[in-house]
């Protein structure tokens, strides 16, 4: 509603907690990946996950599987858009914002594998490059525990 005041700090904290719960608990594939959200602030969306034997793609070298890299980048792109949608609709309460995600879906994903996925843990980040009325675009990055850039991604999502 246009006439209502923007979301209060308490309501924003509730929305942030709901986003983290949605991402870490309710999207169960993210549990398989081991994703833990570090930040859901506009312009600062990050998640971390630890290297585990279940995520290895090349048994001889212990490298992260390319599908894991792609999935993590896709998930973070979606989360970045969720944060941006929450910011765009600052007058909506948590339930209204969460309802807006029901139609979201990836329509295009490009991943550039730059280096071997080696590390003890990894950090993924997403930046929203465009949030239109129906389509949103993001750019994502994945670095290892030493800060080495492992992969980048670009994606488009249906948001309405």
- Degrees (nearest 5) of the Cα angle 143, 76, 88? 130
Task: Find tokens 């894991």 and name the residue.
Answer: 68
The DSSP bridge partners found for residue 123 are 48, 143
Cα(122)–Cα(117) distance, rounded to whole angstroms?
A: 9
Per-residue pLDDT of the chain (160 residues; tens, 9 = 90+): 455 678 999 999 999 999 999 999 999 999 999 999 999 999 999 999 999 999 999 888 899 999 999 999 999 999 999 999 999 999 999 999 999 999 899 999 999 999 999 999 999 999 999 999 999 999 999 999 999 999 999 999 999 9
Burial 109-130 (b: 16+ CB within 10 A, else e): bebeeeeebbbeebbbbbbbee
Q: What are the pLDDT digits (tens) for 64-91?
A: 999 999 999 999 999 999 999 999 999 9
* CATH code for residues 9-158: 3.10.129.10
pTM equals 0.94
Q: How large is the greatest C-alpha to C-alpha distance in the chain, in angstroms?
A: 61
Looking from the CA of 45 toward its CB, the CA atoms found within 13 Å total: 29
User: Average pLDDT over the chain, rounded to whole?
Assistant: 95
Cα(127)–Cα(129) distance, rounded to whole angstroms?
A: 6
Provide the token pair at 87: 């910011």
Position 5 scores a pLDDT of: 72
């Amino acid at each position: 509603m246009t006439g209502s005041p923007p979301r209060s700090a308490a309501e924003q904290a509730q929305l942030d907690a709901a986003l983290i719960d949605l991402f870490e608990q309710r999207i169960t594939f993210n549990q398989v990946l081991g994703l833990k959200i570090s930040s859901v602030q506009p312009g600062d969306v990050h998640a971390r996950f630890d290297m585990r034997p279940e995520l290895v793609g090349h048994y001889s070298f212990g490298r992260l599987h390319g599908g894991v890299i792609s999935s993590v980048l896709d998930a973070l792109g979606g989360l970045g858009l969720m944060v941006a949608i929450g910011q765009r609709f600052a007058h909506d309460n948590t339930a209204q914002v969460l309802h807006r995600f029901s139609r979201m879906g990836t329509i295009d994903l490009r991943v550039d594998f730059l280096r071997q996925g080696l590390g003890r843990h990894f950090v993924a980040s997403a930046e929203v490059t465009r949030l239109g009325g129906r389509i949103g675009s993001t750019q994502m990055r994945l670095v290892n525990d030493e800060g080495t850039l492992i992969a980048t991604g670009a994606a488009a999502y249906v948001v309405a």
